[in-house]
Structure 1
Amino acid sequence: MQDLDGKVAIVTGAGSGVGRATAIALAKAGCAVILAGTTQSRLQEVGAVIAEAGGRAVPLTCDVRDEDAFVRMHNLALDRFGRIDIVMNNAAAISIGYPEDIPLEEWQRVFDINLMAIVRSNHVFLPHFLAQASGHLINVASADGLYGFGYDRLPYATSKAAVVQLSEGLALYLKPRGIGVTCFCPGPVATNIGDHMMAFGRPLDVRGAGEAVTMIEAAEAAEIILSAMREGHFLAVTSQHILDRSRERMADMDRFIDQQIKHPHTLFAAETAQQILTWG
């Protein structure tokens, strides 16, 4: 989808971070944007930024865990703008803790937001895209979903691996039907996601994707996403190192796991993590 001017996009998790930055970038490129999220004040701020720049955006306060959230997005987009061209599934939840310390209900919460929300989205928007034989899905996964580098956030990493597989299957099905799919697998991005992290058990080191995978700003992530969409690319990453490590993993998984155990990369140590997060 090279020409974004006049298109209509729906972005979940649009109130902050990558969702906010991508919504603003889409509006700058000429899209009208439905801003979906849970915090009304943040959505209104993003909408004001877009409006001040001459763009079009409508905030919608909703929870992607609700059955009717995506129906509301769908109906609002058609009522206000008459079409839907892009759906970005970006809402996310992260839990930190040793595997034995994270309760079952937290696994269920994370999967409900990170994975099942995309399933709900597909249930509403795939028939629409298939009927018009056009559109583009953007599913935000993570480098965590491509290769293992930590055991400190297994619900998040496992759900993001599922998002990668779901996105790949959708690409196989939808690309021949004129519908694009982009799966975004970033390394660390400077956002306020730490405000929403849940922490359980004893404080622990939070591991990263590797020393060469440096943190980028949300605006940079948004440009990577738009570039991948315009060029019709399935996989979008924030660092070549993510691809290199993924290839190493598949070439010899036993060796890769042993290396990760022997040479872990700490994103921030337990003492810092304890200052950032409130442990349950």
Structure 2
Amino acid sequence: MTHPLELTGAAVVVTGGGSGIGRASALAFARRRARVVVSDLDAARAQAVAAEIAVIGGDAIGLRVDATSEADLTALRTACLERFGRVDVVMNNVGVLALGAPESLPDEAWQRVLDVNLMSVARSNRVFLPLLLAQGSGHVVNTSSASGLLAYGFDRLPYVASKHAIVGLSEALALYLGPRGVGVTCVCPSGVITNIVEQIAVYGEVAASPRAPDHPLVSAEAVGELVAEAVAKGRFLVLTVPEIRDELVGRAGNLEAYLQARIAEQTEGRS
């Protein structure tokens, strides 16, 4: 069951919207005549994106929001309702990284990544889902990663765990919300040119970089267009490169063989 959404006049909330995929998605929604509330931990960046939307003739506001605070997310909902009278799309897009060998990562690294990447979605669900369920329409977008589909990132284990969790959460949420008229999209980009490096914390010696899928880098703008199109058409999964489908099929067909082949690659790389 798909739920296409008419974006003209829709009210869209984007967290982590001050840069990267969030900014690009906010602009893509605005180009489709949606009205946008851009939120970010950096107020100046959020307001700058809102100003960009105004330049192209759109309607937007920029707000400082800490997605680790349910009170901030509640204030975000209130601001959208006061400005636009409704909420139609919620894009949960904040994300941080912690790098280090798996045996060296302290609890603080795990807690920070899971609190920002995963628990922000749990908070958003509590704040926004009652509204979407009551109106029987709308759409939720959760930003995961190719790292949430293929577990190659052992140098960033909390990130991998959080992004796998978001994929599972999104699938389950689609089963729950779909029959109730609300769509769900899970965004799983491969390499994207963003400024997430600003959000990286490094702990100790970083493990040798694991093999990642050999996929081309794409621009954040391209991802933003894919996100807006998926919401408009009611699609669940957004991949940024088609090559990942073949690897997913191979992994699902024989997980044991797939994993052993990846281990062999690592072994050869260390010799």
Give the TM-score normalised by the residue count of structure 2. Answer: 0.94
Q: What is the rounded CA distance, in whole Å, between the counterparts of 2:90 and 2:180 in structure 1?
A: 16
Change (3 A) 1:47 1:28: same
Q: Which residue of 2 aligns with 1:86?
A: 89
| Cα pair 2:66 2:73 within 8 Å, conserved | no
Superposition pairs for residues 6-45 of structure 1, below 5 Å? 6-45=9-48
Going from structure 1 to structure 2, the CA distance change for 1:16 and 1:208 (only over 3 Å counts) comes to: farther
Structure 2: gaps of 5 or more residues? 267-271
Residue number in structure 1 paired with 2:250: 248
Q: Equivalents in 1 of 2:211, 2:159: separation in Å?
A: 13
Q: Deviations over 1:113-172 (max 9, x none)?
A: 111100000001111011000000000011111121121111001011000111011100
The total of aligned residue pairs comes to 263
Structure 2 counterpart SS, 1:168: helix
Q: Distance in 1 between matches of 2:206 and 2:87?
A: 44
What is the TM-score of this pair, normalised by structure 1? 0.91
Structure 1 residue 223 corresponds to structure 2 residue 244: no
| TM-fit CA distance, 1:251 | 1.4
**1:205 maps to amino acid:** A
Distance 2:220 2:98 in 1: 21
* 1:57 is aligned to 2:60: yes
CA contact (8 A) 2:145 2:187 kept: yes
Amino acid at match of 2:43: Q
Structure 1 equivalent of residue 153 of structure 2? 150
User: CA–CA distance in 2 between the matches of 1:170 and 1:220?
Assistant: 26
Alignment correspondent of 1:238: 240
Which consecutive aligned stretches of 4+ in structure 1 deviate over 6 angstroms post-superposition? none
Contact 2:90 2:141 in 1 (8 A): yes
Question: What is the CA–CA distance in structure 1 between the aligned matches of 2:204 and 2:192, rounded to whole Å?
Answer: 25
Partners of 2:210 and 2:195 in 1: CA distance: 18
User: 2:144 is matched by which residue type in structure 1?
Assistant: A
Q: Does 1:3 align with 2:3?
A: no
Q: How far apart, CA to CA, are the structure 2 residues paired with 1:73 and 1:46?
A: 16
- Report the counterpart of residue 105 of structure 2 in structure 1: 102
Q: Give the C-alpha shift of residue 2 in structure 1.
A: 4.1
1:20 Cα shift?
A: 0.5
Q: Is the 8 A contact 1:187 1:209 kept in 2?
A: no
For the 8 Å contact 1:143–1:209, the answer to whether it is kept is no
Gap runs ≥5 in structure 1: 265-280
Q: Is the 8 A contact 2:38 2:62 kept in 1?
A: yes
Equivalent residue for 2:51? 48
Aligned amino acid, residue 228 of structure 1:
A
How far the C-alpha of 1:19 sits from its partner, in A, is: 0.1
2:261 pairs with one of 259, 262, 269: 259
- Alpha-carbon distance, 1:21 to partner: 0.4
Deviation at 1:255, TM superposition (A): 1.2
* AA at the equivalent of 1:230: A
- Aligned residues with identical type, % of pairs: 43
Letter of the 2:194 partner, please give it: T
1:179 and 1:117 map into 2 onto residues whose CA distance is 19
Determine if contact 2:70/2:127 at 8 Å carries over to the other structure: no
Distance in structure 2 (CA, Å) of the matches to 1:171 and 1:104? 31
Give the letter for the 2:261 counterpart: Q
Residue aligned with 1:117, SS: helix
The separation in 2 between residues aligned to 1:111 and 1:2, in whole angstroms, is 30
